[in-house]
């Protein structure tokens, strides 16, 4: 199995002292990948900056201009949570371009699958604004490239960051060419992603939100993937799967209150890889979103790479939560009914 990673030290130059979305996240990931020997098994792909046309496929020209202007002035804030410095435009453009490069490599069979280790993250960035630590919507730009450059008709985007990817939903809310599926803690930032947000116009039915209460652990998440995501994917028959993965649903993450373990995360990744194998010849690309405990995100990324490489063993040095977790079986049945899966 040829599995690629995409990374650049330019991603470390986007920083603000004390902010949880820090360069240390990627630094720790790279350290653990080297230490565990995973990095030596991967194919390195150099990201290329996204072009204006590629960015504008997912964002307005005005949004791109605001990012360029703020960074040209040395930086500032788009909102209370989302910063930029003089290098943030370059980092964000390269992060978006990493998804374009990864999609091209997978579609052209240069590699079998890929994981873009990028920052700033992207799934909160809407067509018109940066927010939630995100400047450009990396996964959406990658999806638009897949649809345009590779003439695809159906891309499945799975988002299991603990926060709802409101930006990705916004960009594809009226399109049937992307099926957006999100699991997220609710109510939680950014306050969107209720189950009845299902798309509009031609896109009605192509947005599937699974808002979860705090404390849903491995078994509950796996049930959602097995009983809801898998049959939805079978019905949709994607030609490519793109994954926004955040490791902030882990029980140790400081910004949320879900109860996934690293073993649970690896099982979810394996489920997605199996869906890709069955439905789109294994074509799958992961993109890094959130996750703010350094041990969790580094070991979680390493475990996801092992799943992409086809390893059977699961490594979870942090173990499972000791808190009780929620039973969501009845809730999943209700969502299956809402999406005509029963």
The sign one gets for the Cα dihedral 320, 321, 323, 326 is negative
pLDDT in the model for residue 243:
99
Residue 124: active-site member: yes
- Please identify which of the residues 124, 163, 184, 188 carries the catalytic annotation: 124
pLDDT in the model for residue 269:
98
pLDDT in the model for residue 315:
87
SS3 of residue 188 by DSSP: coil
Phi and psi, residue 335, nearest 5°: -70, -35
7: tokens are 């990374």
Phi and psi, residue 125, nearest 5°: -70, 120
Task: List the chain residues with pLDDT less than 50.
Answer: none
pLDDT in tens, 96-145: 999 999 999 999 999 999 999 999 999 999 999 999 999 999 999 999 99
Rounded to 5°, angle at Cα 237 from 55 and 178: 25
| Count of all residues that appear for the chain in the document | 342
pLDDT in the model for residue 314:
87
pLDDT in the model for residue 342:
83
Q: What sections of the chain are H helices per DSSP?
A: 23-35, 52-56, 61-72, 88-107, 138-149, 166-172, 218-224, 230-236, 262-279, 294-309, 329-338
Rounded to 5°, angle at Cα 24 from 318 and 251: 30
Alpha-carbon distance of 63 to 65, in angstroms, equals: 5
pLDDT in the model for residue 139:
99
Half-sphere exposure of 48 (CA within 13 A, CB side): 10
pLDDT in the model for residue 285:
99
Domains and their CATH numbers in the chain: 3-338 (3.40.800.20)
Q: Is the pTM of this model over 0.75?
A: yes
pLDDT in the model for residue 246:
98
């Amino acid at each position: 199995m040829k599995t690629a990673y995409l990374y650049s030290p330019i991603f470390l130059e986007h920083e603000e002292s004390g902010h949880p979305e820090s360069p240390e996240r990627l630094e720790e990931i790279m350290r653990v990948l080297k230490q565990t020997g995973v990095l030596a098994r991967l194919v390195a792909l150099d990201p290329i900056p996204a072009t204006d046309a590629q960015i504008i496929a997912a964002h307005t020209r005005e949004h791109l201009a605001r990012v360029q202007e703020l960074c040209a002035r040395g930086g500032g804030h788009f909102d209370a949570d989302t910063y930029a410095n003089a290098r943030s435009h370059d980092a964000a453009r390269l992060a978006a371009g990493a998804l374009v490069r990864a999609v091209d490599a997978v579609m052209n069979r240069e590699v079998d699958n890929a994981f873009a280790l990028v920052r700033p993250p992207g799934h909160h960035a809407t067509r018109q604004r940066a927010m939630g630590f995100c400047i450009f919507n990396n996964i959406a730009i990658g999806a638009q490239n897949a649809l345009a450059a590779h003439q695809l008709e159906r891309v499945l985007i799975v988002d299991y960051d603990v926060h709802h990817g409101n930006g990705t939903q916004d960009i594809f809310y009226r399109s049937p060419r992307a099926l957006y599926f999100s699991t997220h803690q609710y109510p939680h930032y950014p306050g969107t992603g209720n189950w009845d947000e299902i798309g509009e116009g031609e896109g009605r039915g192509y947005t599937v939100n699974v808002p979860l209460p705090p404390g849903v652990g491995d078994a509950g998440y796996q049930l959602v993937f097995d009983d809801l995501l898998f049959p939805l994917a079978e019905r949709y028959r994607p030609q490519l799967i793109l994954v926004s993965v955040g490791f902030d649903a882990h029980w140790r993450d400081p910004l949320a209150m879900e109860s996934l373990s690293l073993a649970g995360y690896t099982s979810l990744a394996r489920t997605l890889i199996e869906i890709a194998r069955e439905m789109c010849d294994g074509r799958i690309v992961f993109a890094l979103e959130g996750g703010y405990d350094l041990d969790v995100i580094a070991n979680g990324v390493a475990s996801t790479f092992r799943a992409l490489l086809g390893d059977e063993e699961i490594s979870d040095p942090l173990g499972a939560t000791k808190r009780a977790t929620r039973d969501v079986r009845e809730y999943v049945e209700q969502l299956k009914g809402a999406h005509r899966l029963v």
